[in-house]
């Protein structure tokens, strides 16, 4: 019984061996290309997200307090978020009008 299974398995391996090497080659390169594509997409999305986050003007606003309890005296719920990008009450801070003085 086991000898028959061994012969059958050996015959099957010999039959598919010419196709096995090219299939493994294609599979390996496909895996490498998919990994590189995934890394590229993650970097692209990360850079786009970083550019978007750097548009938040809160850190340079005169109403920004620097306290984690009350980040902004005018709009505390949207401070330091993407909603604050187009804040109409944004006033650039100068040394004279700072609410928070480090």
pLDDT in tens, 33-71: 999 999 999 999 999 999 999 999 988 888 888 888 888
Task: Assess whether 18 and 45 both reside in one domain.
Answer: yes
Does 74 share its domain with 96?
Answer: yes
Q: How many domains does the chain have?
A: 2
Q: Write out the residue range of the structural domain in which residue 38 sits.
A: 1-54
pLDDT of res. 93: 76
> What's the whole-model pTM score?
0.61
CA–CA distance, 12 with 71 (Å, rounded to integer)? 70
| Nearest C-alpha neighbor of 72 from the set 41, 26, 81 | 81
DSSP 8-state code for residue 96: S
Residue 21 has pLDDT above 90, yes or no: no
Per the CB < 8 A criterion, the answer to whether 78 and 84 are in contact is: yes
Higher pLDDT, 91 or 22: 22
% of the chain at pLDDT higher than 70: 92
What's the pLDDT score for residue 35? Answer: 98
Same domain, 71 and 35: no
User: CB of 63 within 8 A of CB of 54?
Assistant: no
| Residues 24 and 39 placed together within one structural domain of the fold | yes
**Maximal CA-CA distance, the chain:** 94
Q: Are residues 7 and 46 in the same domain?
A: yes
Mean confidence (pLDDT) of the chain: 88
Residue 92, CB half-sphere, CA atoms under 13 Å: how many? 1
User: 86 and 43 in one domain?
Assistant: no
pLDDT-derived band at 98, boundaries 50, 70, 90: low
**Residue 96 confidence (pLDDT):** 61
Say if residue 33 is in the same domain as residue 48. yes
For residues 6 and 34, state if they share a domain: yes
């Amino acid at each position: 019984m086991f000898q028959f299974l061994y012969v059958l398995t050996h015959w099957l391996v010999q039959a598919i061996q010419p196709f096995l090497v090219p299939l493994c080659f294609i599979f390996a390169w496909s895996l490498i290309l998919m990994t590189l594509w995934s890394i590229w997409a993650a970097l692209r999305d990360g850079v786009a997200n970083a550019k978007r986050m750097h548009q938040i003007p809160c850190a340079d606003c005169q109403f920004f307090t620097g306290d984690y309890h009350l980040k902004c005296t005018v709009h505390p719920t949207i401070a330091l978020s993407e909603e604050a990008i187009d804040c109409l009450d944004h006033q650039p801070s100068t040394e004279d009008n700072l609410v928070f003085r480090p």
